[in-house]
Amino acid sequence: MTRFIPAADWLQGYSRDNLVNDALAAVIVTIMLIPQSLAYALLAGLPAEMGLYASILPLIAYALFGSSRTLSVGPVAVASLMTASAIGAVTAQGDVDYATAATVLALLGGVMLIVLGLLKFGFVANFLSHPVVSGFITASGVIIALGQLGPLMGVSVRGDTLPHLVTSLMQHWNTAHGLTALIGLSAVGFLLFARYKLANLLHSVGLSERTASLLVRSAPVLIMLVVIPLSYFKSFAEQGVPVVGYVPTGLPAFSAPHITWDLVRELAMPAFLIALIGFVESVSVGKTLGAKKRQRIDSNQELVGLGAANAAAALSGGFPVTGGFSRSVVNFDAGADTQMASVLTAIGIALAALLLTPALYFLPKAVLAATIIVAVLALIDWNILTLSARFSHADFAAVLLTILITLMAGVEFGVLTGVAVSIGLHLYQTSRPHFAVVGQMQNSEHYRNVKRHPVLIYPEILSLRVDESLYFANASYLEDILFQEVNDKPALRHVVLMCPAVNRIDLSALEALERINARLQEQGITLHMSEVKGPVMDALKRSDFLHHLTGQIYLSQHAADLDLRGRQNELQPEE
């Protein structure tokens, strides 16, 4: 049962101590999640209550089917931005409303994730390299922050790309509402102070680390506790300050969204992209936190868990959800032992939806905008550019291109670019693998690159080490490199392909080896291979290649070198 429902594993032996730890973590995450849920719903262009709905049933669904014990799911900034972009396009035609489009988007993403999980497609996380994902999230964070400057200042801002947002801000900047801007900027200032200075200040007055951390994490709620009464008594809404307005009291009505084929066709690709980005980030966060407690994260089960969470969001009036970095770290740091913390958090959010929504009417939207801006500042990581530039020019180009496309063309084109660049980068690097001419380290059985070490080499023997599996994309490159070396050695009699890094070989590469063998035979040169792995040897045995091979296959490079030198009456090495 634990194979299909991981919750059955941690429920066995669940103790009172576990419950205490999970309950404390749930209190902290609930306090953090209430303002975040409201803010991310507005970021997605949806009614505020949908943020609360997306933070109830999805948490319980993931708790049952997810493999991480501390990952916390719910609405997140990047997925909310992508949701706004996707549903904005389909609702512009007027055939469907925002809420319906959002729930269909969540349902499609959930079904896709579940199917991929059942088919064991957890490896799709490898389609996006981490630097590219970091670049995409950084660019998305910039777009989110700029977009929230509008509600922060009481300005109407339109657009989902950097040029459109900047143009809109410049056109409407002089229409900023003074009181709204004062509230929003004050909220930003307090949240930044809480994030970077408040903990040290609280430590200095004698509060414990856990209490100080709780207060810091509660900063958005503290602002709400101050601003909502002020908004009520000072009549902020009557003074032109945009407020959240009416939020329905109660739990969501559980029902399947109305689905049409046209809507599915329009939302299928955005749903897949949102699901892919969310899955990659969730697995990354889950593995990082799991490693700290020596807990294993199953990528295939994560697909099922996140898919179940999104399907639950669709059935309960929510929108796409995924594992959130900030709330997961808070959940972990607060001492959560199991996913019972998420179940208790869902209960806390449900109570908030039942009891607290009347007070949310007076909450200024500028406060929620401030919450989003400060939250996404942690996502913006410009260091990825300098790090990738120092480490790899190819990675730097991939990150830079992803950032630029996301900023200039929008998040959907950005994530498509990220996928294409990641796959293209892999294909490019594997299509031009590293080959090295090797020689013997003196007085040893080790063979190293002639360009890096002082080694013994012989003019009659060429030993070429292949540092990559051989397949259709690099087969021709192997031929080019090998014959380039062969043409420079007129005394050559033997070629040895050293294959310690060749884990597999496909039909195209096999045909390339056959051509190499034939061309070398025409030149009076014998082809040998050394250190061939078992699976590769099995593949060669299933073909006729071994029958036509002019030379031998040696267990080790040293055995090949000794044998070939002996055949040539102990060759003398080159200087």
pLDDT digits (tens, 9 = 90+) for 401-458: 989 998 998 887 887 887 788 788 778 878 888 899 999 998 888 999 999 999 888 8
Instruction: Note whether residue 545 is domain-resident.
Output: yes
Q: Is residue 10 part of a domain?
A: no
Distance of alpha carbon 438 from its chain centroid, rounded? Answer: 39
Question: Per-residue pLDDT tens for 545-560?
Answer: 999 999 999 999 999 9
Q: Does residue 11 form part of some domain?
A: no
Range of the domain at 529: 435-567
Are 409 and 386 members of one domain? yes
How many separate domains does the chain show? Answer: 2
Distance, CA of 105 to chain centre? 19
Distance CA 29, CA 27 (A): 6
Is the CB of residue 58 less than 8 Å from the CB of residue 76? no
Q: Which residue has the tokens 């035609």?
A: 93
Same domain, 37 and 87: yes
Residue 475 resides in a domain? yes
Could you tell me if 78 and 216 lie in one domain? yes
Assigned domain for 511 exists: yes
**pTM of the predicted structure, to 2 decimals:** 0.79
Q: What is the CATH number of the domain that holds 471?
A: 3.30.750.24
Longest Cα separation, the chain: 102
**One domain for residues 346 and 374:** yes
- How buried is residue 94: exposed, middle or buried, by Cβ count under 10 Å (0-12/13-18/19+)? exposed
Give which of 503, 338, 493 is closest to 8, Cα–Cα. Answer: 338
CB 32 within 8 A of CB 341: no
* Whether residue 383 is found in the same domain as residue 506: no
The answer to whether residues 477 and 389 belong to one domain is no
The torsion angles phi and psi of 55, rounded to 5 degrees, stand at -115, 20
- Looking at 408, 426, 444, the residue that finishes a domain is 426
Q: Domain check: are 297 and 445 in the same one? A: no
Residues 214 and 87 in one domain: yes
Q: What is the pLDDT of residue 574?
A: 64
Tell whether 226 and 341 lie within a shared domain.
Answer: yes
* Whether residues 378 and 521 fall in one domain: no
Instruction: Name the DSSP class of 437.
Output: E
DSSP string, 43-63: HTTS-HHHHHHTTTHHHHHHH
Same domain, 316 and 336: yes
- Would 164 be classed as within a structural domain? no
In a domain, 119, yes or no: yes
Question: What SS3 string covers 175-215?
Answer: HCCHHHHHHHHHHHHHHHHHHHHHHHHHHHCCCCHHHHHHH
pLDDT tens by residue, the chain, 575 residues: 667 788 888 888 888 888 988 998 898 889 888 888 999 999 999 999 999 999 999 999 999 999 898 899 999 988 999 999 889 888 877 678 889 999 999 999 999 999 999 999 888 777 677 788 888 888 988 998 999 999 999 988 888 889 999 998 888 888 899 999 999 999 999 999 988 888 888 888 888 777 777 778 788 888 999 999 999 999 999 999 999 988 888 888 777 788 888 889 999 999 998 998 889 888 888 887 887 777 788 889 999 999 999 999 999 999 999 998 878 888 887 788 899 999 999 999 999 999 988 988 999 999 999 998 988 888 888 888 888 888 888 788 888 998 999 899 888 788 788 778 878 877 887 888 889 999 999 888 899 999 999 988 888 999 999 999 999 888 899 999 999 999 888 889 999 999 999 999 999 999 999 999 999 999 999 999 999 999 999 999 999 999 999 999 999 999 999 898 876 555 556 65
Cα separation, 487 vs 312, whole angstroms: 65
Q: Is residue 575 part of a domain?
A: no
**Domain final residue pick, 378, 393, 426:** 426
What does the block give as tokens for 409?
A: 């063309």
Q: Do residues 291 and 92 lie in contact, with contact meaning Cβ atoms separated by under 8 Å? A: no
Which of 426, 455, 481 is the last residue in one of the domains? 426
Q: Judge if 411 and 541 occupy the same domain.
A: no
